[in-house]
Chains A and B, each alone.
Chain A
Amino acid sequence: MIWDILRLSLRNIRHRGLRSWLTVIGILIGTAAVVALISVGQGLQRAIALQVERIVGYNTILVTARGLNLGQRIRLDIEAIRAIPGVRSAIAVRTETAYVEGPGGKGFLAVLGYDPPMEEFVAEMDLTVASGRPLAGPGEVLLGSRTARVLGAGVGDAVTIEGKSFTVVGILGAQRAGGFATGGLSLTDLLVISLPELRQLFRGPELVHYAVVRLADRADMALVRERIRDHLRAVGERNASLTDFEDLTRNIQSVIRGVQAFLAGIAGIALLVGGVGVMNTMYTAVLERTREIGVLKAIGAKDSHVLFLFLFESGFMGLAGGALGLLSGFGVAWVATLIVSRLFEAQGAFTPALTAGLVLGSLFFAFVVGAVSGLFPAVRAAKLPPVEALRYE
């Protein structure tokens, strides 16, 4: 019998035609907004987790100034950290300001110490050369594109850094970002020499932007962290903090989730407006069909039959809006991420996520919004005294 009532409900929805569609569209828009935001947000979380993993890696500890501040420098000795048991490899990004003279200019410029494992560690540190070749031996220097212009130097020229002569072997390509890897400095404004040579030029306490420590396969994360803290204490560095992959993703994810919840909340308001649309349609339907309700009751319909007849109508419109909203929301999310990926040339695959939870959740939620919005009209219909309904003109 419940199926027959359901069929009647569907018939009534079809019968209302355009009005049903408009009501469904109200729910559709709300659902689409929620779905688009959540699937983009989840896709973003996934992409960032991947990115963080690429930069940092699971078994990796990041040593930075407090608050993950890469612009502020900390004191540490990377060799001492490499010597800690359980550490497989470690790099420190270190730059110093040096007095540099070239064929066509001179000045105080930032010099980055290059350590071969860097590129493995720091995906963003793209040291691809535009002309010439990469560093291969001592006495060689790479120039950032702008630095090359400042110094008036090209491949094959000599530049002096703090009085020591280096040969320019390559010019770096135009850099995208690079700020993260070098603590706020753009690679275009740098000179790059090998780390051992930077060490020789600048002796004494080493100030670095940050260090990345990778653990051996079976190393104990907690133990290694403790040892690194010991080292930092030993060199008198009190402003450093350690972050591992999990800390990092947890931080980033919680920020994203917060923003996402806020946006989804706003989108949810659109869904509520859709619900008000359903309520309006259903109240109108109850008014228009008052006589019919009276007839149904006269021929044996119970209050519950009438209740379900109207509840199914609103619930089904909610469900239809939810299903269509799910599709269009995901479509919108796809287009949006495509555009965003193009605009920011984001690395890695950034696609919206469509999880089973999102699919079922949005359908269920849209159905509930429809049914709940239809509840008051349906209750009113069910409670109508049959005689008054029959007399209604």
Chain B
Amino acid sequence: MSTALVELQGVTKIYRLGEVEVPALRGVDLAVSPGDFLALMGPSGSGKSTLLHVLGLLDRPTAGRVLWEGRDVTRLNGGRLAELRGRRIGFVFQMFNLVPNLTALENVELPLVFLGVPGRERRRRAQEVLTRLGLGDRLRHRPNQLSGGQQQRVALARALVTDPALLIADEPTGNLDTTTGKEILGLFTQLNEQGRTIVLATHDPEAAAVAKARLRLRDGQIVGVER
């Protein structure tokens, strides 16, 4: 029936802080189709990260359903979710979040380690992706020996090495200067043109502009869609 890659149906997420309930998402319906490039926008605290986490199967909704390629994965156990994440989803974060004591190459190999890909093939694939992103001469560098833009490209390589169906990015340019941010955004555009499905959250109108569609969030609800 549905052709959506991932679909949220009436998703609500409520955080409980002692007695106080903090609603982060309130009845969100959203379908992400293959080839989409969506940008989530909205003020701080509006629920962008929370929505990305639910889309990326990192967090479970308090109410509502999550369908992955038409299959209800809301109640799937943690191990299965981890495997789905490992195979089908790539994450890029604002803080790059590379493992500090691993080289660029090793960081990119990491998702393949958890998938059980043998060392040789792992290295070949990681090297290939890094080279494609212009880091062929930085394979043995550690994160603290790389600039912010280079680190974010390594993080992007790590997200792409498993050839994921969905790429999720939470403010990927938030910690970069304008020029470097533009470079990264260029990479996203390129990836989408090659058919990669992307959802990113951003405060930056320029970043949002490269997406094919913009969703506006406020207080945990989608208040506007602009294609």
Complex interface: chain A residues within 8 A of B86 (CB): 299-301
Whether B83 and A300, one on each chain, are in contact in the complex, defined by CB atoms closer than 8 angstroms, is: yes
Complex interface: chain A residues within 8 A of B113 (CB): 1, 4-5, 8
Determine if A360 is an interface residue (Cβ-Cβ < 8 Å). Answer: no
Interface code B96-117, partner A: CB below 8 Å = 1, 0 otherwise?
A: 0101111000000011011110
- Among residues of A, the one whose C-beta sits closest to the C-beta of B110 is A299
CB distance from B89 to the nearest CB of A (A): 8
Comparing A195-203, A290-298, A343-351, the segment that makes contact with chain B is A290-298
Comparing B52-60, B126-134, B182-190, B191-199, the segment that makes contact with chain A is B52-60
Whether B83 and A302, one on each chain, are in contact in the complex, defined by CB atoms closer than 8 angstroms, is: yes
Question: Which residue of B100, B102, B114 contacts A300 across the interface (Cβ within 8 Å)?
Answer: B114
Question: Which residue of A292, A300, A387 contacts B87 across the interface (Cβ within 8 Å)?
Answer: A300
CA distance A386 to B159 in the complex (A): 16
Q: Which of B48-103 contact A (CB under 8 A)?
A: 53, 56, 58-59, 78-79, 82-83, 85-87, 90-91, 93, 95, 97, 99-102
Whether B110 and A296, one on each chain, are in contact in the complex, defined by CB atoms closer than 8 angstroms, is: yes
Whether A299 and B53, one on each chain, are in contact in the complex, defined by CB atoms closer than 8 angstroms, is: no
Question: Which residue of B83, B85, B95, B119 contacts A298 across the interface (Cβ within 8 Å)?
Answer: B85
Complex interface: chain A residues within 8 A of B159 (CB): 299
Whether A295 and B78, one on each chain, are in contact in the complex, defined by CB atoms closer than 8 angstroms, is: no
Determine if B162 is an interface residue (Cβ-Cβ < 8 Å). Answer: yes
CA distance A390 to B86 in the complex (A): 16
- Among residues of B, the one whose C-beta sits closest to the C-beta of A391 is B49
Determine if A175 is an interface residue (Cβ-Cβ < 8 Å). Answer: no
Determine if A11 is an interface residue (Cβ-Cβ < 8 Å). Answer: yes
Instruction: Report the interface size for chain B: residues with CB under 8 A from the other chain.
Output: 30
Determine if B214 is an interface residue (Cβ-Cβ < 8 Å). Answer: no
Complex interface: chain A residues within 8 A of B100 (CB): 15, 292
Complex interface: chain B residues within 8 A of A387 (CB): 53, 58-59
Given A1-B113, A1-B114, A15-B101, CB of A386 within 8 Å of CB of B59: yes
CB distance from A48 to the nearest CB of B (A): 53
Whether A299 and B85, one on each chain, are in contact in the complex, defined by CB atoms closer than 8 angstroms, is: yes
- Which one of B53, B79, B99 has the greatest number of beta carbons of chain A within 10 Å? B99
- Among residues of A, the one whose C-beta sits closest to the C-beta of B119 is A4
CA distance A1 to B113 in the complex (A): 6
Main secondary structure of the interface of A (DSSP, over half): helix
- Among residues of B, the one whose C-beta sits closest to the C-beta of A4 is B113
CB distance from A313 to the nearest CB of B (A): 12
Whether A302 and B78, one on each chain, are in contact in the complex, defined by CB atoms closer than 8 angstroms, is: yes
Whether B116 and A1, one on each chain, are in contact in the complex, defined by CB atoms closer than 8 angstroms, is: yes
Whether A299 and B158, one on each chain, are in contact in the complex, defined by CB atoms closer than 8 angstroms, is: yes
- Among residues of B, the one whose C-beta sits closest to the C-beta of A382 is B78
Given A4-B119, A11-B102, CB of A299 within 8 Å of CB of B114: yes
Whether A305 and B101, one on each chain, are in contact in the complex, defined by CB atoms closer than 8 angstroms, is: no
Q: Which of B123-177 contact A (CB under 8 A)?
A: 158-159, 162
Whether B78 and A300, one on each chain, are in contact in the complex, defined by CB atoms closer than 8 angstroms, is: no
Whether B97 and A300, one on each chain, are in contact in the complex, defined by CB atoms closer than 8 angstroms, is: no
Given A303-B82, A390-B58, CB of A298 within 8 Å of CB of B114: no
CA distance A385 to B162 in the complex (A): 23
Whether A301 and B82, one on each chain, are in contact in the complex, defined by CB atoms closer than 8 angstroms, is: yes
Interface code A333-374, partner B: CB below 8 Å = 1, 0 otherwise?
A: 000000000000000000000000000000000000000000
- Among residues of A, the one whose C-beta sits closest to the C-beta of B50 is A387
CA distance A366 to B200 in the complex (A): 49
Question: Which residue of B82, B95, B101, B114 contacts A12 across the interface (Cβ within 8 Å)?
Answer: B101
Given A1-B114, A5-B113, CB of A295 within 8 Å of CB of B99: yes
Question: Which residue of A1, A298, A385 contacts B91 across the interface (Cβ within 8 Å)?
Answer: A298
- Among residues of B, the one whose C-beta sits closest to the C-beta of A303 is B78
CA distance A386 to B81 in the complex (A): 11
CA distance A305 to B116 in the complex (A): 11
Interface code A1-22, partner B: CB below 8 Å = 1, 0 otherwise?
A: 1001100100110110000000
CA distance A292 to B110 in the complex (A): 12
| Chain B interface (Cβ < 8 Å from any Cβ of A) | 53, 56, 58-59, 78-79, 82-83, 85-87, 90-91, 93, 95, 97, 99-102, 110-111, 113-116, 119, 158-159, 162
| Chain A interface (Cβ < 8 Å from any Cβ of B) | 1, 4-5, 8, 11-12, 14-15, 291-292, 295-305, 385-387, 390
> 22 A-B residue contacts at CB 8 Å?
A1-B114, A1-B116, A5-B113, A8-B113, A14-B101, A291-B95, A292-B100, A296-B99, A296-B110, A297-B58, A297-B85, A299-B111, A299-B158, A300-B83, A300-B85, A300-B114, A300-B115, A302-B78, A303-B78, A305-B114, A386-B59, A390-B58
Given contacts A300-B162, A302-B83, 17 further A-B contacts (CB under 8 A): A8-B102, A11-B102, A291-B95, A295-B91, A295-B97, A297-B58, A299-B85, A299-B111, A299-B159, A300-B86, A300-B87, A300-B111, A300-B114, A305-B114, A385-B59, A390-B58, A390-B93
